């Protein structure tokens, strides 16, 4: 709602979702992110079973896209587990968390996402660390 054509956030500024290129931009970044993770020897052991199962990989991809879309102000609903539920029992280290974030940053840089948008997305994901690391 509101009297602007930019977006639906009641300001004249486009949402982060729009600045990331909407669902198309987010999908591209997510696919490269997953490719980077699969190639990242620091963490790819964690994803062996996921990568081996096309259905499971597709589900993870869709959940990540929905999560980024919803978190950045887009018209999606995240339907996956909470971050605590999803990562409990894995005992993920801070180094592993940072490696995964670096794989996301590399994907955004590859697709020429600007510094401001990179930081804005990381600011949304960063607070999830306490529900993911050491659980």
Residues making contact with ligand HEM (CB under 6 A): 43, 46-47, 50, 56, 60, 63-64, 67, 80-81, 86-87, 92, 96-97, 100, 125, 128, 132
Query: How deeply is 54 buried, as exposed, middle or buried, from its count of CB atoms within 10 A (0-12, 13-18, 19+)?
Result: exposed
- Which residue is nearest to ligand HEM, using beta carbons? 80
- Least distance between ligand HEM and beta carbon 90 (Å): 6
- Least distance between ligand HEM and beta carbon 74 (Å): 15
The smaller minimum CB distance to ligand HEM, of residues 23 and 125, is found at 125
CA 64/CA 29 separation, integer angstroms = 10
Q: 65 and 23 in contact (C-beta within 8 Å)?
A: yes
Beta bridge partners of 133: 92
């Amino acid at each position: 709602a509101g009297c602007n054509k930019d977006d639906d956030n009641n300001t004249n500024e486009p949402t982060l979702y729009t600045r990331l290129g909407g669902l198309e931009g987010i999908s591209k970044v997510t696919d490269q992110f997953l490719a980077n993770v699969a190639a990242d020897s620091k963490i790819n052991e964690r994803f062996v079973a996921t990568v081996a199962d096309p259905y499971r990989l597709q589900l993870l991809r869709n959940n990540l896209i929905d999560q980024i879309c919803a978190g950045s102000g887009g018209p999606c609903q995240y339907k996956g587990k909470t971050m605590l539920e999803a990562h409990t029992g894995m005992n993920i280290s801070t180094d592993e968390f940072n490696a995964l974030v670096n794989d996301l940053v590399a994907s955004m840089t590859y697709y020429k996402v600007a510094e401001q948008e990179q930081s804005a997305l990381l600011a949304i994901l960063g607070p999830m660390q306490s529900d993911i690391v050491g659980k």
